[in-house]
Amino acid sequence: MIRLHHVPESRSMRVLWLLHELGLPFEVIEWPFDKTLRSPEFLALNPVGRVPALELNGRNLFESGAMLEILCEGFDTMGMWRPIGHAERADWLVWVHFAETISQHSAALTQQHIALYDDAMRSPTVMQIEAKRIAKCYGAMEQVLSQQDYLLSDFSAADIAVGQAVYMAKHFAPLDEFAGVTAWWERITERAGYKASLPEGPRLYAKDFYPAWT
C-alpha cells in the first residue's frame, strides 16, 4: 500500500510526479497549507509537521529526497534511477539532492511573499538575495543543460526532483536568461507524469510570479 500525504505545489509534488511516472497504484491524501500540519494526526506521519509524508508497506516515511530514492530502488522499471555501480550513479545522487538547494531558497521566498501575514514582517533584502541565489542555481544547471537534453543521459528522477524545485522557484526567479534550462523545462513539462501532478483545486501560489520588493 502506498499513500502520499500531499500539499499541492509543495515538495510533495516531486513524489507525486515520480509515482505517476512509475505507474504504481497509490492513494493521495491532500492537506491544506495551514496549522493542520501540526495536528497530532499529521505529526504521527511526519514528526516535523511538513509534507510530504509517505505511507509505504506499513511504514511512515518523511523527507522527499529519501522517498525518491526508496521508490526508485524498490519499484523502478522505467529507468528513473541509477543503481550502485552505474556510471551515472554519483551524478544522479548529486542532482536529486541539488533539488533541495533550490527548494530552500524557494521556501524562504514562499514565506516572505505568502506565509507572512503582515507586510512589516517581510524583507525586501531577503527577497532580493534569495531570488539571486535561485538564479545562481539556474546557472549551475545551465552548464549541463546547454550541452544535453536532461541532467543525465536520459530522463530520470533527477529531472523530477530538480524540475519540481524549479516549478516552485519560477514563481520568484525567471528562466529567461538560461536557454538550456528553459528548453529542458519545456521538455520535461510535456510529460504526462508532470501534468498529472499539477493542482486541480486551490493553489499554494495564487500568482504565477512574485517579484522581489525594492
2-75 placed in CATH 3.40.30.10: yes
Give the CATH fold of the 89-196 domain: Glutathione S-transferase Yfyf (Class Pi); Chain A, domain 2 (1.20.1050)
| pLDDT by residue, tens only, the chain of 214 residues | 999 999 999 999 999 999 999 999 999 999 999 999 999 999 999 999 999 999 999 999 999 999 999 999 999 999 999 999 999 999 999 999 999 999 999 999 999 999 998 999 999 999 999 999 999 999 999 999 999 999 999 999 999 999 999 999 999 999 999 999 999 999 999 999 999 999 998 889 999 999 999 8
Domain ranges of the chain: 2-75, 89-196
**Could you count the other beta carbons within 10 Å of the beta carbon of residue 104?**
14
pTM above 0.85, yes or no: yes
Residue 106 CA to residue 104 CA, distance in Å, equals 5
- φ and ψ of 27, to 5 deg: -120, 145
Q: Measured in whole angstroms, how far is the alpha carbon of residue 146 from the centre of its chain? A: 22
* pLDDT value for 54: 98
Cell numbers linked to 100: 533541495
